Structure 1
Amino acid sequence: MTTATLAPAAITAAGVTRSFGDVKAVSDATLTVPQGSVTALIGPNGCGKTTLMLMLAGLLRSDGGSISVAGLDPVHDSAGVRNAIGWMPDQLGSWDNLTCLQTLTLMGRAYGERKEFARQRGLGLLQLVHLSEFADRPARVLSRGQKQRLSLARALVHDPQVLLLDEPANGLDPRSRIELRQLVRELAAGGKTVLVSSHVLSELDEMVDGAIFMSKGRTLGDEAQAMVAEARGRFRVTALNPDRLTEVLRAWDYAFDEVDGGVTLQISNREHGSQVLTALVKADVQVDSFGSAGSALEQTYLAMNEERR
């Protein structure tokens, strides 16, 4: 996972708040999402992720703070923001009696597209999300995962600059999840900005350029990014002669933690990792595996929740 820091911001929020009666769903959300990037929005259930995304989409008015999406303010130009974004909610609200193609054609028409153009655009999108065989079948026959794919196609109908995806992998089978990752990366490579909320953190690691963490209605800033950086540098090493592995590390005075079948240690960058691996082999350590200790986002999320408790 790399972070794109030089691109201009497509989404910004500063000090955003939103309450529902006595419940403060979002108490202080501040974030920046670079243009042409894929950014994860991560946090436990009830932390305010969906409320924040609804405000970014112009579907819910904030109580305070400022928001800019594609250079537009959702409060003062909600129509402009809705034209600039593609919104994929957690659950697709569909017209069960309309076919998949009719659904996409209708959405295209709602955005001002000519009927034949909207129809051809819909056919292309159904092919993109592997639903071509369902073009003339009603939405009610779709499975949960197929409805998710139709929802993604619907979000792309008007070729938006920004995509807001709320739990897009829900209900998808493994192949569809892989295809979703590939498609999201292709969309970003084409210049679209993607903000994606998901609990499938190991898959997000392979998809995103950066991450924003939320807890109790607040976005976590530099402390969360430092935790991600530390987790990304945590490597797990196993050896066919584990006693020799720990002996060598102790002789080097190299800090490590023993885990089942090996050790974990901190690696600062790829060059450092290559040097450590080479040195271990030269020291007669029969290295069996040498790589990341796991998902950096997952490790950060678990550490964040420990602090929350």
Structure 2
Amino acid sequence: MSTGASSPSILVSGVSRSFGSTTVVHEANLSVHPGQITALVGPNGSGKTTLMLMLATLLKPDSGEIRIGGHDAVQNPRAARATLGWMPDALGVWDSLTVRETLIAVCAMYGISGLAAGERVEALLTETALTALAGQRSHTLSRGQKQRLSLARALVHKPSVLLLDEPASGLDPEARLAQRQALEKLSNEGTAILITSHVLDELEQLANDVVFLREGHTSTDETVADAMRHNTRWRIRAIDITTLDEALAALHTPVTPQALLSGESRVVELTNNAEAAELLRSLVTAGVQIIEFSPATGSLEQAFLRFNQEATQ
């Protein structure tokens, strides 16, 4: 579902990678344009990490083309690295360095020194809510704090491309919100972001495009569009639950009761979005005061489950 007139900041075309006789990535294709946040979604063992490592120029593909920021990542990895920020799933730290010293060291790796390095580090500490931890040894940080430091390291050189592998892992709700806002800001400034996560609700709030990956195969734009159109379980809440039950019974619509923190609701199974729209119209016409009519699980989660089901048929 990639769009945009600009050239993609990330381009993967026909990329494959095997380990011995096992092919992990099969002719993968995807693109991410400037200002776009694309989710890479797949189960464990689908090839996500292998694909991300190839994009980060840490692993060479057996075949295919990878371009990062317009540079051939295979033939000219140094130029590609200069344009990308890489946040791996697990952060390796220098135990003896503090958070501030770690960022100063990364600045030096990118040729940023002196006053410029100091200003950049202070800005990153603020952006990633690490100021209070600036003097703390890196190895003493919690999992969530290390994730914030990992993001800060990836942003040191103001990259135009960000590769994020499970960036929200270990973050508390407040930190997740802060990270999401930071990534949205970067996207609005033109950064191309490719992100993996098992928290699909989080991705749905953040991403504006998605690529599904299963057994090393990437989905096509048409497959994704079709999967996203077919929500099947819908949650309905009304001011008067009895009136809702009566209307659903009159429409011969089977329901499953569901209790939520927000109140009692009903879940219905529908074939597609058109059927959902028609049911909502019928309920409103019948005088039911609807206060919620939404997918019972996230649209992205339902779409991914549908993609998996069709892939195994």
| TM score, norm. by length of structure 1 | 0.89
155-164 or 282-291: bigger deviation: 282-291
User: In structure 2, which of residues 243, 246, 257 is the aligned counterpart of residue 244 of structure 1?
Assistant: 246
Q: Aligned partners of 2:2, 2:215: CA distance in 1, in Å?
A: 27
Q: Give 1:288 shift.
A: 4.9
1:280 aligns with 2:283: yes
Q: Give 1:223 shift.
A: 1.6
Q: Give 1:279 shift.
A: 5.0
Task: Report the CA distance shift for 1:284/1:141 in structure 2 as closer, same or farther (over 3 A).
Answer: same
* Moved segments of 4+, more than 6 Å: none
Contact 1:37 1:193 in 2 (8 A): yes
Corresponding residue for residue 22 of structure 1: 21
Aligned length: 298
Corresponding residue for residue 99 of structure 2: 100
Corresponding residue for residue 223 of structure 2: 223
SS state of the match for residue 159, structure 1?
Answer: coil
CA deviations on 1:59-89 (whole Å, 9 max, x unpaired) are 1110001111111111111011100000000
Corresponding residue for residue 263 of structure 1: 268
258-267 or 22-31: bigger deviation: 258-267
SS state of the match for residue 111, structure 2?
Answer: coil
1:58-97 map, 5 Å = 58-97=57-96
SS state of the match for residue 230, structure 2?
Answer: helix
Q: Aligned partners of 2:53, 2:130: CA distance in 1, in Å?
A: 27
Task: Report the CA distance shift for 1:82/1:257 in structure 2 as closer, same or farther (over 3 A).
Answer: farther
Q: Aligned partners of 1:268, 1:4: CA distance in 2, in Å?
A: 24
In the alignment, structure 2 segments of 5+ residues that lack a partner are 258-265
CA deviations on 1:1-25 (whole Å, 9 max, x unpaired) are xx66124211111110001112211
| TM score, norm. by length of structure 2 | 0.88
217-226 or 11-20: bigger deviation: 217-226
Contact 1:86 1:162 in 2 (8 A): yes
1:208 aligns with 2:211: no
Q: Aligned partners of 1:163, 1:288: CA distance in 2, in Å?
A: 39
1:290 aligns with 2:304: no
Corresponding residue for residue 154 of structure 1: 153
1:305 aligns with 2:292: no
275-284 or 6-15: bigger deviation: 275-284
SS state of the match for residue 198, structure 2?
Answer: coil
Q: Give 1:259 shift.
A: 3.3
Q: Percent identity?
A: 43
SS state of the match for residue 72, structure 2?
Answer: coil
Letter in 2 for 1:96: D
120-129 or 159-168: bigger deviation: 120-129
Q: Aligned partners of 1:257, 1:120: CA distance in 2, in Å?
A: 61
Contact 1:109 1:115 in 2 (8 A): no
